[in-house]
Amino acid sequence: MRSWHPWRRRSRVGAARRAGTAAVLTAALLATVSCTGTATPAPAAAGTAPATASAAPATATPTGSPSAAPVPVPDVLRFTGTTLTGATFDAAQLAGRPVVLWFWAPWCATCASQAWTVAEIAPRYRDTVPIVGVAGLGGRKAMKEFVTEFDLAGMPQIEDGKGALWKRFEVTEQSIFVIIDRDGTIVHRGFLDGEALTAKVAALAGA
Q: What is the pLDDT of residue 31?
A: 38
| Assigned domain for 199 exists | yes
| Assigned domain for 44 exists | yes
- Rounded to whole angstroms, the Cα distance separating 78 from 114 reads 27
* Terminal Cα-to-Cα distance of the chain (whole angstroms): 29
| Assigned domain for 49 exists | yes
| Assigned domain for 21 exists | yes
Torsion of the alpha carbons at 170, 193, 35 and 110, rounded to the nearest 10:
-140
Q: What is the pLDDT of residue 125?
A: 96
Q: How many domains does the structure of the chain reveal?
A: 1
Q: What is the pLDDT of residue 71?
A: 85
| Assigned domain for 202 exists | yes
| CATH code of residue 51 | 3.40.30.10
Cβ–Cβ contacts within 10 Å for residue 124, how many? Answer: 14
What's the average pLDDT block by block, 10 residues per block, for the chain (207 residues)? 39 40 39 45 46 55 57 95 97 97 97 96 96 96 97 96 95 95 96 96 90
Q: What is the pLDDT of residue 70?
A: 80
What range defines the domain where residue 23 resides? 6-206
Q: Collapse the DSSP code of 12 into the 3-class scheme (helix H, G, I; strand E, B; otherwise coil) and give the result.
A: helix
| Assigned domain for 66 exists | yes
| Assigned domain for 1 exists | no
